[in-house]
Each structure stands twice: as structure tokens, then as C-alpha cells.
Structure 1
Amino acid sequence: MRSWNWIWQALWWHHFFLLWTTIDGQTRYSIPEELKQGSVVGNLAKDLGLGLSDIFDRKLRVASEAGEQYFSVDAGKGELVVNDRIDREALCGQSASCVLTLQVVLENPLNLHRIEVEIKDINDNSPRFHTKEMSLKIAETAAVGTRFILESAEDSDVGSNSVRSYTLTKNECFTLKMKEVEDGKTVPELVLEKPLDREKKAVHQLLVTALDGGNPVMSGTSQITVTVLDVNDNFPVFDKNIYKVSLQENTAKDAFIIKMAATDADEGPNGEVEFYFASRTPDSVSSMFEINSITGEIYLKGDLDYERATHYKIEITAKDKGAPEMESNCRLQIDVVDVNDNTPEIVLTSEPQPVREDAPSGTVVALLNARDADSGSNSKVTLQLPKGSPFNLKPSFSNNYALVTNGPLDRETFSEYNIEITATDSGSPPLSSKKTIPVTITDVNDNPPVFTQPSYNVYLKENGVPGSILYSVSASDLDFGENAKVSYSILDSKVQDVSVSSYVYMNSDNGSIYSMHSFDYEKLKVFQILVQAKDQGSPCLSSNATVHVFILDQNDNAPAVIYPSSAALGSLSHQRMPRSAKAGHLVTKVTAVDADSGHNAWISYRLAEATDSSLFTVNLYTGEVRTKRAVSEQDDSSQRLLIEIKDDGEPVQSSTVTVSIMVEDGLHEPILDLRQKAVEPSKKTGRITLYLILSLASVSVLSLVTFLILAVKCIRSSRSSGSCCMRRSDCDDYKNPNRNLQIQLNTDGPIKYVEVLGGDMLSQSQSFRSCMSPMSEYSDFTLIKPSSTTDFKEVISVLDASLPDSTWTFESQQVSRQVVQRDLLPPPSVLTTVASVLVRSASRARCALTLKSNNIRIIYDCRRINVSLFGVQQDHR
């Protein structure tokens, strides 16, 4: 037992030193009861070491454990003043010490002070008898010196202000003496000084006065009527003067408590005893207990409650049936034993304060108190938080606790905590209760805005309307309030040595990007916009994203004739030919280029007007002007041709050139076939060469940009899903024989692969594939056997020109299979030429041709060419 006491003392000292810095020393005041409202108790601010400004700044407030707000603080003077009438007797009853405990709460930072106010008693209550009239029946045979206990007067005051003495009016038979009982208390006794003579005086009227020790003295009186009885001169006698019984407060109703025993020396009715509660028994006792008047058995009639009354003192009277009746009294003391029947209670001393999500561990959130109405071990309360809670309880004095943070907080994960605190007492069985405390987590700007994707691709047609919207980007922020408000801006960068802000501008509120002017595909094909999303927090956080803008070509350029040159002679070109020219004689070749791209740059030639339309023909795709028949002597020596050049765009753009041909006799100088090598470049051919070089350079730049975009996508994709590779593969779709000759450009944005298919009914179809996608397999080119070796040589010559590293051979009616690995496809202009040659080959072989990609599809069925661009079709018969 001694070891346990030592352990408890050690724990008490441990908690005392831990909490020394949190709770200041106690302050005690002493005041008399019944002070007027507004009376000063003491200078609270001075005693606590506070300035007057602290009362407002730290929101000083006073809370009383008694529940009633008897005191308040004068904010202007810092004084503790009386707020309401204080009645010591109502607060503390007969307790010698009456102390009111106050709690002074300060915020920012939270602090708690304990103040005790001692309420001193004043003589404001006079002694009072329970009954104003008392009756005594005394036999005339009563011996001199017989004592009769009188009712004691009660005084609500304590100490010297309580009852101190009694006086009795003068009479010849009785005097008043005091008898000391337990607990140092005295009761008045009426003493018979002279024998009674009923025949002389049957009734004696006495007045007893109770006096207190106050200044001034206060008193109370009670009238005593003494009736002198005859004959029955023995009164009942109890076997004990005091009976003591202990009852648990959960004892059931109607339970037997004790049986009283008293005897009377008389005989007959004068010796028959009946039991009663004394006439001055209070209602609180008579409503709780009942007594059997015959047997003297006492039973429990009400519900005991230790918290309401810890014991009961009952006066029991035993009366005989004599005439007159004789009676005696004894005291029954019933002690109530506490049972753990009250659940602990959690009371908030201060309301919980919002906590920043970056608050350090140990930040005080709220102050609370644990209490239990039971006593002893039944009133010892322990508090517990759920496991994993980022909060902790820090104990203080007198069952006071501080709720503090105990780990990192994240508002984006939990914006509010409902902290459930469980209070459990030490009773058997233990009782518990729960209280939920809501704690709000305030936001800190710790999350940057995040775009929906790291980069965006925007496809924009050229020649658009300035001020039109290009795209809208969006970013979200996990924070709250101002920390989550996102504004958008464009980071400064260069596009063709010009700031990107001169091309586009951005709405800072919704992330919409608008064009500043119209774009020209021929001048700018692609550019990047680096956008930034920034929140409104402090400090602000941001993130970036890239918007890739691809300009789509529109057919806004007409074909330009580069040969024959018309710079000096306007639109008229002079050519000569011998009259001896046969059918198919090459007269000249018209060459034109288109600044557009794709099918918008595909050019066709047509003879619009001629002096003799039966003599000349113009190749639809090459622009070669040849004779349709041999020149006769009847043909005019001067021929004039109007040749129209059209592109394949929508709407169609066209231009014309006029060729003047002089038919001369004896002209033997051969006209060079444009398919042969030039012997010696002239000034005109030099200019054509210059134009061709410029065209080739522009196409090469476009191909290089396409390759770079493909390479970047290839590198990004190869890190996760695969790698850019080429692998030889056979396509099951081409294993069946067919008579079609097909070239397919299959693209997904940038071109991915080209397929050339063909063969007669007896040949085995093979494929020629070039893989350019990071997701494609390792592939190769395979050239299939054509239906006509002679016709297909044109295709081979074009392929050889575009792919100089490859070689092709023919054996009888088939073409040997050769594999040539490629890093890049031929330029689009070469593919266009290949397509035109294949059209001729397909027409001669009576087979179909298909040239297609995601955006372009060409179908040739020997009757017409169907061109589809972005879903728009165009037929060429």
C-alpha cells in the first residue's frame, strides 16, 4: 500500500512540473456574502500581471464551476466585480468553508488561471425552530430533575453567527439546560425543578428563545405547551440511543433497512409501544423512508442518490398507549454508499480554434475539462483519443486538458476533423461517455495549379479571322479560396525572332488563347506557346504547359509558271519545230509550281485553246507539249497554244501561258527530251534550275521539320511503350493474288508508311512498307512484280531518282525482291510524281490505283481520279 502511495505521489509531481509553464499560480480573494452588485472583489489584471489592453486583445473571460455567473470583469479597470447576489447559505449550506472557484481564460495564446473567492458568512439569518409550537405531556408523578429534550433551533449561518444559547421564560417548575450530543452539538433540555401537581396547574405555557452569536444578536422563539398527565409514569426506552446503517445508493425500493426496539416498564396499554418518525422530521426523510408503527421496521420508499444526500439523520419516537402517553426518542443515522452510477462528462472550457494546415506539433486547439459527479475512484476520469488521430491531449491541473496537434495536417486530405474524445471513469464497472469536437483546418498555399495535360496540339487553318479563339487551356488547384484562384499568362518566347505575344494573346481568367492576326502557312507552319497558370496564394505557385500550334494549308496560291519563262515576253513563249516532226514529237514542256502544300500543290495541265487542236496535245501531269500527228504541208507555219495550269485545291486556282510555235522547213536542230540530261545549260535553264533548287529546298525544310517532330514523339514514346524501329514484316492482307496496282500513303498526322501493291492474277502480291512511327514494327520496302515491265520502268526511274541508294533489276516478267532500309520517306513532291507515273502504269495495265493518307485519298479506276481532302471529294475524269 505504501508503494502505491509513493507511485501516485511521483506521478503527481511529474504532472505538476510538466504543467508549470502552462498554468499560473492561483489567486485567492475573500469577500463577505450579500455584497451589492458592482462591488469590487480585487484588481484581477494587476494580480495576474496583465495590462488593460490584454483584456480586449486576449479576450479575457471568467467562467465559474458553480454554473452561476456571480462575477464579471470591469474591462476598463481590470477589476473583478460582483455580478449577482451571493448567498453563502444557498451555495455552501452548513459548510464551514465556502470557496467559489473561477477560471480566467485568455486567448492568443490560450492560457488558463484558477482564482478562488472565499465567501465569508455574515449574520443575516436568525435562529428558527422547526415548529412554532411544541407540546409536552408530563406525568404528574415525574421526578424532580427529569429532563425533556426539546427541538433544537436551526440557523443557516455558521461559526459564531450560528445558535449559541437558549433562554426560557420564568416559571416555577421548569428550567432550561443544555445537553451535549455528538459532533460537539448541544440540544436544549427542559428540566423539571419542582414536582408537578395536575390539580393545581394542568397546563404550563413556556416560551423558549434561541440566540445566535452574531452582532447584532438575532433570535427565534417557539411556544412550549406542557400538559401534566396522570398515572402513566414510565416511558418507553430504546436499547440504543443512536442506530447506524449503511445503504448503497442503488438499493431497490421497499428494501428492509432496520428494526427499532424499545421497551416500557408499565403493563397493559401503558406498556404497549408504537414507533413513529418525530414530528419535526423533514419531508425529504418522510418521502424516502417509512416505518411500521407496530413492529418498528423501517423500509426504503424512495430512490437514494449519493450525489444528492450522503447521509440521513432520523429522529425516531417510541410511544406507549398509556394515559397519558409516554414517549422517548432515539436517532437513526443512515449513511449512503456511493455507486458508480454517473457517467463522466467532458466540458469545453474554450471553443476550438481553426488550425492552419502547416501548424507545428503542439499547437493548442481547445481547452476542456473532465468531471464525474461520483466520488472516490468512481470520479477519477481518463480521456482517450482515437488511434491515428493527429491530435493529442495534454493534461493540466484539476482534470483540465489542452487539445493540441500531434502531427502534420493536410487540408486537401481532411479539411475538418470531428475529434471523438472518450471519457472513462475508474468505477466497477467503468462508465464512459463521448464528445465530438469539430476542428476546422485552414488552407495554406502548398499546391501549384496543374494543367489537364502537359502539352496541347492545336490545328489552325491559315488566313483565319484575327481575334478568333485558338484554344482554351485549363488548370486546377487543390487549394481553397484565394489559393485556388488560377490566372493564366503567356511566357515570353520567340517565333521567327518575334515575341510570341505579337501573334497571340490570352484571357487571364479562363485560359482562352486568341489570335492577334491572320496566319500564312507559307510563312509560318508551326510554333509553340508556353503558357503559365499561377494561383493567388502568398507566395504564389505556378506551373507551365506548352501549346503546339500547327498551321493548316489552304489553297490560296495560284500555280506559277517557271518555264517557259515569261518575264521578258509577258505570257507569250516562242518555240520552233521542224515541219518534218512526227507524231509524239516533243515541242516544249511547261513547268509550274504552287506555293501551297499537299493536294493544293498538285498541278495539272490542259490545252485550253489552239490554232489547230488536232495537231498538239498537252500531258495532264507533266506539261509536255507533243504532236498528236505528223506535221503536214497544209498546217500553218505559225501555231498558237493557250495552256491552262490548275491546282487540285478547293477552290481551284489556275493560271495560263501562251506558247507560239513556228513550224519551219529544214530545221534539223533536235529538241532536247526533258527526260534526258541537259547538254549545256542556257540562261533560261539556269533560271529553271534556280527555281527547282528553291522548291527543293523548301520541301526539304518541310520534310526536316516533319522528321524532327516525329523524332521528338519517337523519343518520348520509346521511354514507356516502345522504340522507333524498322522491321521486316509480311502483311497477311497482301498474300492473295490480285490484279491491282496500288500505292498507299497511310498517315496519322505525320506520314507513317507507304504501301505499293500490284500484280496480275498469276503473280504473288508483296508489299513495300516503310515504318516511321515509334509504335510500328521494323519494316522494309518490297517491290512487287508489275503487270508490265516496260511500263513500270518509269516508276523505277522515279524511285531511283528519289532514293539514289537503291537499285532495281528485272528478270523476264518479274522483279527481284530487294530490301532497302530507310530513315525518311521521299519528299512529298517525289511521291506526287510517283503517283502520277503509277496512274499511267495502272491505266496501261488496266488496274486500279489507290493513294491515301489520313487527310488525302486518291483513287484511280482507269476512268477518273477521286481526290478526298479532309472529307471533301473532287473528281477528275
Structure 2
Amino acid sequence: MVFSWRRNTGFPMLLLWLLLFAAWRAGSGQLRYSVPEEAKHGTFVGRIAQDLGLQLAELVPRLFRVASRGGADLLEVNLQNGILFVNSRMDREELCGRSAECSVHLEVLVERPLQVFHVEVEVRDINDNAPLFPVKELRMQIYESRLPGSLFPLEGATDADIGANAVLTYRLHSSDHFALIVNSENQEVTLELRKPLDREDTPEHNLLLVATDGGRPELTGSMQVRVTVLDVNDNAPSFEQPEYEVRILENSENGTSVIRLNASDPDEGSNGEISYSFNSLVSPVVLAHFHIDPATGDVTVRGSLDFEHVNSYKIRIDAMDKGHPPMAGHCTVLVKVLDANDNVPEIVLTSLSLPVKEDAPLGTVIALISVSDRDSGPNGQVTCSLEPHVPFKLVSTYRNHYSLVLDSGLDRESVSGYDVVVRARDAGSPPRWASASVRVEVADVNDNAPQFAQAEYTVFVKENNAPGCHIFTVTAHDADAQENARVSYSLVERRVGGRALSSYVSVHGESGRVYALQPLDHEELEVLRVEVSARDAGAPPLGSNVTLQVFVLDENDNAPWLLARGSGGPAGAAVAASELVPRSAGAGHVVTKVRAVDLDAGYNAWLWFELQAAPAGGARCPFRVGLYTGEISTTRALDELDAPRQRLVVLVRDHGEPALTATATVLVSLVDGGQASPSWSRASVAAGASASASASAGALGGASSLVDVNVYLVVAICAVSSLLVLTLLVWAAARWSSGAASEGACVSGPAAAAAAALVCSSAVGSWSCSQRRRQRVCSGEGPPKADLMAFSPSLPHGPVSAVGTEPPVSFDCSEKMVARSEHRFC
């Protein structure tokens, strides 16, 4: 068993080596193919898709494409079968000249995700170029005195092919006097004289030099050599060595000495005088870049030497004596040009993914970069770098090829674009560098919601506004761009007092202007909370909301309302009442109290009272009305001269601009007796309040008839003994009731519910409570929520002066009366 395993171990080892080689080729990231030059269109090169591990079905969706350096479409890929084939004619000599290696570098790009592969296709040489001599016919002059064994260098043929196709062999035809010597190392061809020449016998020899290359099939080239035999001079100049090698830096200045040659001639006289010149077969390139001094043999630089263009020159130099005939010596000078760091690196940028979205993931490939330098050695070694402070980096992909990839996150709102500068620096001394830039624009994504300057705005609007009036403009700013920054506005719908918010206000979708759709009423709605939404046009859209606190400012659009005494409810803008006052009443006797409310708020609801009409008869009026309390009281003791009936007209005025008024008519009857019972008449109502500065009140007629005074006197005389105590008790009760009313009286019930207002009066002033909602006022059923104003006129017990002489004293509701709290305040 051991012996059998040893015999068969070769095949597994070979299979293992093949697997390792395939794995190495797959991991190297590069494919190599070869194709002969001059291949026809469609020639198969390789199954590139299969070798790269790509499926044929994904070539088109992933945008499989091939790019070659220089832009020539020499090779193409069939996307149906993934085969790389020859697209156009390839001439190896045109592509690579005489370079030993010749290949076409391809970059294979596959997107989604992006992959870059590098493929090299070797272009193999074929024997398509025949050997070529520099001239078709060469004329030589040889003196007959030359001895056998003399050597005459010839210019050999050249073959544009390489390798075996460029290995030449030479044959010389039709010659008995000459033989051909070929140096196998440098392929130099020399004509050797085998037999002495006799000009008289044969003055000219016609030779055919044939060069054959080593290709299959062989190709040949030929040159006709015509040798003219000269006479006389028998010694030719000779150099110290047949070949010289010198080195010189490229870009050397004109006149720089390359070499000084020295040839010797044993002849004397003119036959030993030597002049130097370039051989007639020297190429025009040599003549353009070098010069030789005929007398000294000094070879100098003429023109600029460029290593990248030509890195070596082979110069054939003749030394000619002045004999008759002259004789010449020959040598070869091999000039090697040394490279200098005179070429800057070249950068080629290929943009792929521009612009770049600001939410692009790290590692996204932005561009492909390739660099090159025409210099050689360290002068041609290039390194690449990026200018600092950019969110990108360079990733080397293959030799001098890089990918520009995203290295950190982008934010278009901070930086909208980057000017990326790529710098390439060679390793020469001193180093040379080049730079190239690419503009990387950052594309916007919808990552910013519209923002308002404030989270809440306070807006003041007077009530009774015109429908459709503009009350405010909301503006939201979006830091994004284009559609992502286009903001539209809308109203966030909700219910306000059982009605939709959109019935009160509307918002223009583009400008953000807020309009009131109907007149607002402060007494109905003091504060309207409006929420506006701003949305951008991105996908998906982003948005934010802002709140408008719309305060409806009060206007003096409600006249004072007089309260009927009996029901406590509103009686209208004018009322009439009848009161009985005993003539025995002294100064300060309270006759009655006029009560009124105003649905407005603040100063518009602050009421004052004044006596508008005095009693007839011309006597001084014995009555007055409290400026802020509305109490009608006597100013002096009544006497017999006072008229038994007096008509008092009380004007109730608010403090609005313009002021609105209401009037109350009080009919006062003076009676003899110890008590009087006031009563309100419900039978007469005058005209309404006026919006002007003064509103007239109509007189009311038909008051209740007075009780006959005589009846009271008879009753008093008959029952004085029995009713005296009762009269005193009733009088005391009446005084107590009147005093209690003076101490503090509240109006509540239906009047407060209907008018949503409350007036509380006392001996020191009047409380005006403007109620917003229908709630019970001055009761213990729930805490009132009202705006409260306190007025203290501080009136003396005397005649009432003109309106406004005693300014009101205002108290801060929040501090003094604890409005909007859990306490009862009336």
C-alpha cells in the first residue's frame, strides 16, 4: 500500500499546486491574458466575467464596462457571454516600440456596489517586420594598399520586432575578396578584406548584403554595397579603441563637451594630418544633438538632450587624413543620457459619483485617480496625498492607481461642497510635484424640519374686526435646499366652543399669512389658540408646529345695562322707578340704588353715575347720586318747601371711547310718615343706549298712584298707641335692610347669567366683574373666573361734584382680590 501511494502521489500534488495557483490568481485582484498582435476583430482573448467571478446576468444591471488607458477601444467585452475579444487592430511596435514587454492595461468597473478590477492583456509579437537597412545602396572607397584582414564596419539592419523575430543573420553574396564578420553580442557587421585589392584589375566590387530574421516564416532585407578601390595612401588613421562609452546628464547646456577623440596616423606630412567628422550614415537625430570639431575631435552637445525621448545615442566617427588619396579610421561613441528629475507627475482624475449625497455611507467611492511620471528610477516613483481638512481619503487600488473615498460624514448645511486637491510628489532630488483638483458637491437630503423663530407667538386683535382681515404672518425656515426647503403652511384643526377652528381663521399655504374669517367678539371669546403646521416638500416630508395666542381686545361696543330691582335681571338701557321718601328724612337718607352692568371689560366696563335732571320748581335739589355707587340719597333735611313729587333722571356712563350711556328715571314722592317702601316700576322702558358721547333718555309716564296721605294720617291717629311699636320696628327693619344694602349688595341670578357680568356695590365703591362664561356669580357653587376691577370713590357726605373729580382707585386683581382663584369675592 505504501508503494502504491508513492507511485500515485504526483497527480494529487499537481492538483494541489493548480488549486493554490488559482487561489493566488483570484486574490491578486488582477487578470492577465495574451493575444498576438495584428489579431483580427472578434479574436477571443478570455472569459473575463467568469474569471472575475461575475454572473452573466448581472453585467448589464451593474453597468459592467471596460476602460483602457489612452482611450483606445482595442478590446471590448461581449455583455451577453462575458468574453473579452479584439475590437480593433493592435500593432505591438506602435504600442510599445522595442520594449521587451507590451501589454494593454484595462480597468473593469462594476457598480452597485462599485468594484474595480485590473486586467493586463499581453500583446505578443509576431514576425510582421522585415529587416531594414538604413540605405538601399552603400558606396565605399578602399585603398588598394589595404592589407588583407582590414576591417570595414557596416551599418547593420534593424528589425522592429523583438525576441527571436529580431535576431538577424547576415549573408554576403558575389564576393571573393571580402568576407562578413558579425559580432554576436552587439550585432555589429564588419566587412573584412580577404584578398589584396588591385584597382587596375577590379576598380569596383558590387556586393549584396542580405539580413534574415529568426521569425517563422523568415523575412529578409538587403543592401547593395558598392566598393570603389582607391590608390595611393597606404596608412589610415586609427583610434586608441574602436568603441567609447560616455555618460551625460539630460538637459545639459549647449557646448557641453561629451568626449575628445584622438586618432593617430603614422604617415608624415599631409598624409598624417587628420580631420574628424561624423560618418555619413549617422542619423539626423545625432546631427541635431551633437557637434564635432574637425580639428580637435571634441564632441559637444548641440540642442537639448531628453532622456524620456532618447536615452542613448550611437555615434560613428571618421578620422580622415589628408593624403592622396585620403584614408580614414573609424570608431564608435556610445552616449548614454542620464535621467534628471525634469518631469512633473501627471494626474488623471475620473469622476464617478458626483454630486455626493450628504447621507452617503463611509467608504463611498467618489473618483478614480491614476498618476504617472515619465522619469525613471526614484525620479519616477510617485506618492499621492490629499490636502488636509477634507472628509475624504485616498485608497491605493493598484500600483499608481487610487480611489478617492468618503472618510467621514457630510453635512450640506455646514459645507455645500469641497474643492479636493490631490498632490503627487516624486522621489527625485529635488522632488517635483503636481496637483489636480475636483469639485465634490454635496447633494441635499431632507434632514432638517422647518423651524419657527419662536415656539409661540402672542397676537392682539381688536374685536369686531372686518371679515378676512390679516392678523399675523408665520414664517418657518428650512436649512435644506430646493424642494426640501419649500415650506407650506396649514391649520391644525380643533374645536373651539363647539365650532371648528377653521371657521374662525385660515392660513395661506404659501405665505403663512393668517386671516380672521369672521368678526371676533371679546365678550364671546377672549383668547383664541391657533396652531399652525409647517411642512416641507421633501420625501418623506418633515414639519413642525407653532402656536398663536390670539388675544381679542375689547372695544366699547356694549352700553351699560340697568338691573331691575325685583328680578335682579337686566331691564334695558333705561328704566323708571317710583320711591316714597318721608319728609322727616334727614341728610344722608338713602332713597334707592341704581344698579347697572356693562358687558365690556376694563375701562369700558367702569361705570359712573350722575344726576342729569333736577326737580322742577327752581329749588335746590335735595338729592344726589353716588358717582360710582349709584346710590340716591338726600343732601339735606327735607322741608315743606320741597315739591311733593320730584323726577330724578340718573345717567349711567362707561369710560369707553366713545362713551356709551343709559338712563334711569326715579319718581320720588315725599310723604308724611315714618317709613316708605320703594318699589321698581316694570311698566315703563325708554329708548336704548346711544354710541355717541351723549344718549338721551325718554321720560317714563304712568307711575303708580301714591297712597293718599290723609289715609295714612287717620290710620296713624287711630292706631298710634297700638302701631307705634310696630311702626318703630318696621322703620328699624327698613333701616337695617337699607344699611345692609349699603354695606354690600350683589346682583346675581339670571342677570349675571345673561349678561355674563357682575357689579358689586358697597359704601366704599363698586366692584365690576366682567365674566367670560356663563357661571354663577357671587355664590358658593363654584369659583368664579373673572376680570375684577375695584373702584373707591371716597365720596364725602355732601353734594356730588362734576363727573371725574374723584379719580378711581384701581387695585390689581391678581394681588388684591385674587381673581381666577378658588375664593368668592362678592
* Counterpart check, 1:662 vs 2:669: yes
Looking at structure 2, the residues matched to 358 and 839 of structure 1 have their Cα atoms a distance apart, in angstroms, of 85
Residue in 2 that maps onto 1:140:
144
Contact 1:235 1:319 in 2 (8 A): yes
Q: Deviations over 1:462-485 (max 9, x none)?
A: 222344333222221222334333
Q: Deviations over 1:65-110 (max 9, x none)?
A: 3564433334455443444432222222223432222222223322
Looking at structure 2, the residues matched to 27 and 278 of structure 1 have their Cα atoms a distance apart, in angstroms, of 49
Aligned mate of 2:655, from 648, 663, 668: 648
My pick for the range that moved more, 612-621 or 527-536, is 612-621
Residue in 2 that maps onto 1:179:
182
Point out where structure 1 has 5 or more consecutive residues left out of the alignment: 1-19, 702-793, 803-825, 855-877
Contact 1:72 1:80 in 2 (8 A): yes
Task: Note the C-alpha offset of 1:838.
Answer: 10
Contact 1:838 1:849 in 2 (8 A): no
Aligned mate of 1:623, from 622, 630, 633: 630
- State the AA in 2 paired with 1:299: T
Contact 1:564 1:589 in 2 (8 A): no
Task: Note the C-alpha offset of 1:512.
Answer: 3.0
Task: Note the C-alpha offset of 1:362.
Answer: 2.8
Contact 2:105 2:121 in 1 (8 A): yes
What SS is found at the alignment partner of 2:445? coil
Task: Note the C-alpha offset of 1:452.
Answer: 0.8
- Compute the RMSD of aligned alpha carbons: 4.2
My pick for the range that moved more, 453-462 or 663-672, is 663-672
Task: Note the C-alpha offset of 1:284.
Answer: 1.3
Contact 2:369 2:401 in 1 (8 A): yes
Task: Note the C-alpha offset of 1:536.
Answer: 4.0
Residues 842 and 381 of structure 1: CA distance in aligned 2, closer, same or farther (over 3 Å) = farther
Residue in 2 that maps onto 1:425:
426
Residue in 2 that maps onto 1:126:
130
Looking at structure 2, the residues matched to 75 and 690 of structure 1 have their Cα atoms a distance apart, in angstroms, of 94
- State the AA in 1 paired with 2:661: S
Residue in 1 that maps onto 2:737:
678
Identity rate, percent:
41
Q: Deviations over 1:326-375 (max 9, x none)?
A: 22322111112222222223222443543333334333322212322221
Q: Deviations over 1:266-312 (max 9, x none)?
A: 22222222211111111111111111111111111122222222222
Residue in 2 that maps onto 1:32:
36
Looking at structure 1, the residues matched to 464 and 383 of structure 2 have their Cα atoms a distance apart, in angstroms, of 79
Residue in 2 that maps onto 1:447:
448
Residues 470 and 53 of structure 1: CA distance in aligned 2, closer, same or farther (over 3 Å) = farther
Task: Note the C-alpha offset of 1:45.
Answer: 2.9
- State the AA in 2 paired with 1:574: S
Task: Note the C-alpha offset of 1:459.
Answer: 0.8
- State the AA in 2 paired with 1:429: P
Task: Note the C-alpha offset of 1:401.
Answer: 1.8
What SS is found at the alignment partner of 2:510? coil
Looking at structure 2, the residues matched to 550 and 248 of structure 1 have their Cα atoms a distance apart, in angstroms, of 92
Residues 796 and 290 of structure 1: CA distance in aligned 2, closer, same or farther (over 3 Å) = farther
What SS is found at the alignment partner of 1:94? coil
How is 1:475-874 mapped onto 2 (pairs within 5 angstroms)?
475-491=476-492, 495-496=496-497, 500-564=501-565, 571-579=575-583, 586-608=590-612, 612=616, 614=618, 615=621, 618=625, 620-626=627-633, 637-666=644-673, 668-669=675-676, 678=737, 688=747, 690=749, 797=764, 830-831=789-790, 833-834=791-792, 837=795
Residue in 1 that maps onto 2:686:
none
* Counterpart check, 1:330 vs 2:331: yes
Residues 613 and 437 of structure 1: CA distance in aligned 2, closer, same or farther (over 3 Å) = farther
- Aligned residue pair count: 714
Contact 1:137 1:324 in 2 (8 A): no
What SS is found at the alignment partner of 2:285? helix
Looking at structure 2, the residues matched to 556 and 375 of structure 1 have their Cα atoms a distance apart, in angstroms, of 99
What SS is found at the alignment partner of 1:383? strand
Contact 1:23 1:111 in 2 (8 A): no
What SS is found at the alignment partner of 1:458? strand
Task: Note the C-alpha offset of 1:414.
Answer: 1.2
What SS is found at the alignment partner of 2:525? coil
Task: Note the C-alpha offset of 1:28.
Answer: 2.4
What SS is found at the alignment partner of 1:31? strand
Looking at structure 1, the residues matched to 732 and 279 of structure 2 have their Cα atoms a distance apart, in angstroms, of 150
Task: Note the C-alpha offset of 1:429.
Answer: 1.5
Residue in 2 that maps onto 1:204:
205
Task: Note the C-alpha offset of 1:398.
Answer: 0.8
Residues 624 and 257 of structure 1: CA distance in aligned 2, closer, same or farther (over 3 Å) = same
Which one has a bigger Cα radius of gyration?
A: 2
Task: Note the C-alpha offset of 1:537.
Answer: 4.0
Residues 263 and 853 of structure 1: CA distance in aligned 2, closer, same or farther (over 3 Å) = farther
How is 1:188-337 mapped onto 2 (pairs within 5 angstroms)?
189-337=190-338
Task: Note the C-alpha offset of 1:146.
Answer: 3.3
TM-score of the superposed pair, with normalisation by structure 1: 0.72
Residues 839 and 361 of structure 1: CA distance in aligned 2, closer, same or farther (over 3 Å) = farther
Looking at structure 2, the residues matched to 432 and 402 of structure 1 have their Cα atoms a distance apart, in angstroms, of 19
Task: Note the C-alpha offset of 1:552.
Answer: 0.7
- State the AA in 2 paired with 1:678: S
Residue in 2 that maps onto 1:393:
394
Looking at structure 2, the residues matched to 386 and 700 of structure 1 have their Cα atoms a distance apart, in angstroms, of 81
Looking at structure 1, the residues matched to 218 and 506 of structure 2 have their Cα atoms a distance apart, in angstroms, of 98
Looking at structure 1, the residues matched to 253 and 68 of structure 2 have their Cα atoms a distance apart, in angstroms, of 36
- State the AA in 2 paired with 1:203: E
Residue in 2 that maps onto 1:768:
none
Contact 1:417 1:439 in 2 (8 A): yes
Contact 2:444 2:481 in 1 (8 A): yes
Residue in 1 that maps onto 2:772:
none
What SS is found at the alignment partner of 1:678? helix
Residues 369 and 828 of structure 1: CA distance in aligned 2, closer, same or farther (over 3 Å) = closer
Residue in 2 that maps onto 1:366:
367
What SS is found at the alignment partner of 1:57? coil
Residue in 2 that maps onto 1:340:
341
Aligned mate of 2:54, from 50, 55, 60: 50
Looking at structure 2, the residues matched to 387 and 298 of structure 1 have their Cα atoms a distance apart, in angstroms, of 51
Residues 841 and 354 of structure 1: CA distance in aligned 2, closer, same or farther (over 3 Å) = farther
My pick for the range that moved more, 311-320 or 362-371, is 362-371
Looking at structure 2, the residues matched to 439 and 489 of structure 1 have their Cα atoms a distance apart, in angstroms, of 37
What SS is found at the alignment partner of 2:792? helix
Residue in 1 that maps onto 2:75:
71
Residue in 2 that maps onto 1:437:
438
What SS is found at the alignment partner of 1:56? coil
- State the AA in 1 paired with 2:158: E
Looking at structure 2, the residues matched to 370 and 141 of structure 1 have their Cα atoms a distance apart, in angstroms, of 62
Looking at structure 2, the residues matched to 535 and 21 of structure 1 have their Cα atoms a distance apart, in angstroms, of 53
What SS is found at the alignment partner of 1:558? coil
What SS is found at the alignment partner of 1:285? helix
Q: Deviations over 1:516-539 (max 9, x none)?
A: 433221222124233333334455
Contact 2:422 2:435 in 1 (8 A): yes
Looking at structure 2, the residues matched to 249 and 608 of structure 1 have their Cα atoms a distance apart, in angstroms, of 123
What SS is found at the alignment partner of 1:287? helix
Looking at structure 2, the residues matched to 435 and 595 of structure 1 have their Cα atoms a distance apart, in angstroms, of 80
Q: Deviations over 1:744-798 (max 9, x none)?
A: xxxxxxxxxxxxxxxxxxxxxxxxxxxxxxxxxxxxxxxxxxxxxxxxxx99955
Residue in 2 that maps onto 1:738:
none
Looking at structure 2, the residues matched to 90 and 689 of structure 1 have their Cα atoms a distance apart, in angstroms, of 114
Task: Note the C-alpha offset of 1:633.
Answer: 5.5
